[in-house]
Structure 1
Amino acid sequence: MLSALLLLNLGGAVSLHICSFNIQSFGERKVSKPEVLDIIVESISRCDLMLILEIKDVKGKAFDQLMTRLNSRSRTRADTFSSVISERLGRNTYKEQYAFIYRHKMLTVNAVYQYPDTQSGDEDAFAREPFVVWFSSPDTEIKDFVIIPIHTVPEAAVKEIDELYDVYQNISQMWQSDNFIIMGDFNAACGYVPKRQWMNIRLRSESEFLWLTDDNLDTSVKASTKCAYDRVVLRGEKMIAAVNPESVEVFNFKDEFSLTEQEALAVSDHFPLCFTVTQAQRRG
């Protein structure tokens, strides 16, 4: 059943299931717990491409252990996952990493770019500068796309979301791609982005960007918290045409694996957010 979801064939074009997952404080403690690691691995294996956020592993071993566990499930080389990971990013001593995990047989990396965050007059706008990746997807209708990931600081969410517009402009001038996905933990809800502030966010006010996720989406694990922290924004006519908004899914691993709230929170305080890129609609 999962293979049917992951490899949906529409007129010869393969679909891509793309996800984002803030694995709260991911490090050695979580990979040392088999029951937690198994749920993380199951969540990743549902996707063709997974953005991992909030990797806080000082020793740099936990992510390799995750990849080893993930690929131990694969029967052949063609079924394995590859990955690309950023350097440790952050101000002062607090650091995090971004990582992308993707199916080896479906995707390749054209280029990576660590946004320098040195724009004149607005230096150090991001606490964790986007680690941008340009993917090639030869068997899908969308042959390439760029993902700009973000994990904002909650108290600076308005500024950092707005600054993503500058990141997009920078990348669009540097790389020859028209297809963009901006995704991650925007902290774009529950007081961090007041309604009156949306008009000041260029990523929202500029009409060429499509917010695939709405303000009522709940990506938080706690029953007491209903917040659309995690978001997906698209840019590019072909990219937008290739994504059905109804494909947006919050993967509730708590319900999927019959966990208590405490057991689910041991995995993360966020659920993975997913959507599907299918065959682009023909126009005219």
Structure 2
Amino acid sequence: MSPLLPPLLLLLLSTQDALALRICSFNVRSFGEAKKEDRSTMDVIVKIIKRCDIMLLMEIKDSNNMICPMLMEKLNGEKLVSVKRSYLYRDHQDGDEDVFSREPFVVWFQSPHTVVKDFVIIPLHTTPETSVKEIDELVDVYVDVKKRWKRENFIFMGDFNAGCSYVRKKAWKNIRLRNDSSFIWLIGDGEDTTVRESTHCAYDRIVLRGPELIDAVVPGSNGIFNFQKAYKLTEEEALAVSDHFPVEFRLRTSRAITSNKKSVTPKKKKPRRS
């Protein structure tokens, strides 16, 4: 069986005129050779990814490094962001080693076309049984990155397994990422990021830190993308893609990037609860 790779941040090339930068997180569930060879499933996966300008993909199983190059061949267009720096967080704190089942691969993005010009993404895909501790430990990753790069704008996102039996209500008091009001959670506890009709769990999350970044979020843009409903799939067809729905939000651009290079002021949307 192919090994389970760490979460992967794809820097996507948007094919659409952009009024905002869409940032997404998606657990594709066992994304390996079988899905790669299933044309109908791959068509849906590519459509989901193409909606986004930055996409965090999880559960890629690809020992031959074929899936990512194949995806990039299918994605083309205008480059909206660039990578400034990146590093793998090493979980070697004295007395608190190896908390993360998958150590976060941290990426610092530069985004010249958005109101906020740079931000750091810290991805996380937890093991369900240790999700409380892993989510809490993201604060230590934040402290490490802030000291290293002196940045202010942070996005934490991924499959946190942050719901149902994995993070019960009484456990939230032990999670610093929740208790510190400077961290803003864009996906609420009552949301359902699962495809199966028999489940209702907010496993996948997005958390922000940094006033400039938070102010740059397009009101009402944070939420779940229900690809089953959007693409008129049966539950069985949707589950062939994943048992998770993507989560997402958008950042306001300083101007729209259009083919004729004209500047367009984005329209404001009424806010809605996440």
2:174 counterpart of 1:200: yes
2:185 counterpart of 1:220: no
In 2, Cα distance between equivalents of 1:129 and 1:162: 14
* More RCO (CA 8 Å, sep 6+): 2
TM-aligned CA distance change 1:151 to 1:20, over 3 Å? same
- Residue 38 of structure 1 aligns with which residue? 43
Which secondary structure does the structure 2 equivalent of 1:151 belong to? coil
Q: Scaled by the length of structure 1, what TM-score is found?
A: 0.82
- Residue 110 of structure 2 aligns with which residue? 136
2:147 counterpart of 1:173: yes
Which secondary structure does the structure 2 equivalent of 1:22 belong to? strand
Displacement of 1:217 in angstroms is: 0.9
Displacement of 1:62 in angstroms is: 1.9
CA contact (8 A) 1:151 1:185 kept: yes
CA contact (8 A) 1:221 1:261 kept: yes
- The residue type paired with residue 267 of structure 1 is V
- The residue type paired with residue 99 of structure 2 is A
- Residue 127 of structure 2 aligns with which residue? 153
- The residue type paired with residue 52 of structure 1 is L
- Residue 65 of structure 1 aligns with which residue? 70
Which secondary structure does the structure 1 equivalent of 2:156 belong to? strand
Displacement of 1:58 in angstroms is: 2.1
Identity of aligned residues (%): 55
- Residue 246 of structure 2 aligns with which residue? 272
Q: Scaled by the length of structure 2, what TM-score is found?
A: 0.84
CA contact (8 A) 2:113 2:253 kept: no
- Residue 7 of structure 1 aligns with which residue? 18
Displacement of 1:244 in angstroms is: 3.9
- Residue 206 of structure 2 aligns with which residue? 232
In 2, Cα distance between equivalents of 1:218 and 1:178: 30
In 2, Cα distance between equivalents of 1:19 and 1:144: 17
- Residue 250 of structure 1 aligns with which residue? 224
- Residue 260 of structure 2 aligns with which residue? none
CA contact (8 A) 1:133 1:146 kept: yes
How far does the alpha carbon of each residue in 1:64-107 deviate from its partner, in whole angstroms, 9 at most, with x for none? 22222x23xx4xxxx1xxxxxxxxxxxxxxxxxxxxxxxx5210
In structure 2, runs of 5+ residues without a counterpart are 1-13, 255-267, 269-274
Displacement of 1:139 in angstroms is: 1.3
Question: Could you tell which deviates more after superposition, 250-259 or 147-156?
Answer: 250-259
- Residue 261 of structure 1 aligns with which residue? 235
- Residue 165 of structure 2 aligns with which residue? 191
Which secondary structure does the structure 2 equivalent of 1:146 belong to? strand
Q: Describe how 1:74-153 pairs up with structure 2 within 5 A.
A: 74=76, 79=77, 105-153=79-127
2:35 counterpart of 1:21: no
TM-aligned CA distance change 1:199 to 1:270, over 3 Å? same
Displacement of 1:224 in angstroms is: 0.7
In structure 1, runs of 5+ residues without a counterpart are 9-14, 80-103
